Amino acid sequence: MEFLTSYFRRILPVVLVLAGICQTTTAVAGDFDFSSAWQRVSQKSHVLKAEQANIDQAGYHQSAARDLYLPQVNLFAGYLHLDEDITLGPDDIFDSMPAGDLAGAQFYGLLQSQGISRGQASAGLTSTISDRDISSSSVNLLWPVYTGGRITAAQEIAKASFDEAQQHQKLKVYGQFESLCQRYFGVILTGKVLAARREVEESLAIHFEHACLLVQNGQIAEVERLQAEASHAKATVDRQKAASDLRITEAALTRFLQENATARPSTGLFIQRKLPLLETVMEQTLNNYAGLAILDAKEEMVTGLIKVEEGKYYPEIAVIGNFNLYEEKSLASDLMPDWFVGISVSVPLIDRSGRSGKVKAAKSKIEQVGALRRQARQDLSLVVEKTYRRMEQAMNEYDSLASSERLAEKTVELREKAFDQGLATSLDVVDARLYVAGVKIQRAHAAYNHVMELAKMLVISGQINEFTQYAQTGTI
3-state SS of 157-200 is HHHHHHHHHHHHHHHHHHHHHHHHHHHHHHHHHHHHHHHHHHHH
Q: Which residue has the higher pLDDT, 348 or 394?
A: 394
Per-residue pLDDT tens over the stretch 335-356: 778 888 999 999 888 888 888 8
pLDDT mean over 287-295 = 93
pLDDT mean over 278-302 = 94
For residue 120, pLDDT beyond 80: no
For residue 24, pLDDT beyond 60: no
What's the gap between Cα 189 and its chain centre?
28
Kindly state the percentage of the chain with pLDDT values over 90: 54
Mean pLDDT of the chain: 86
For residue 381, pLDDT beyond 60: yes
For residue 18, pLDDT beyond 60: no
30: confidence class by pLDDT, cuts 50, 70, 90 = low
pLDDT mean over 16-34 = 52
Predicted local distance difference test score (pLDDT) of residue 127: 78
Predicted local distance difference test score (pLDDT) of residue 132: 83
pLDDT mean over 119-142 = 81
Contact 155, 68 (CB under 8 A): yes
82: confidence class by pLDDT, cuts 50, 70, 90 = confident
Say how far apart CA 464 and CA 455 lie, in whole Å.
Answer: 7
For residue 429, pLDDT beyond 80: no
Predicted local distance difference test score (pLDDT) of residue 369: 93
For residue 11, pLDDT beyond 70: no
Q: What are phi and psi of 84, to 5 degrees?
A: -160, 170
Predicted local distance difference test score (pLDDT) of residue 40: 94
Predicted local distance difference test score (pLDDT) of residue 23: 43
How are beta strands 72-81 and 127-130 bridged, if at all? unpaired
pLDDT mean over 4-25 = 41
225: confidence class by pLDDT, cuts 50, 70, 90 = confident
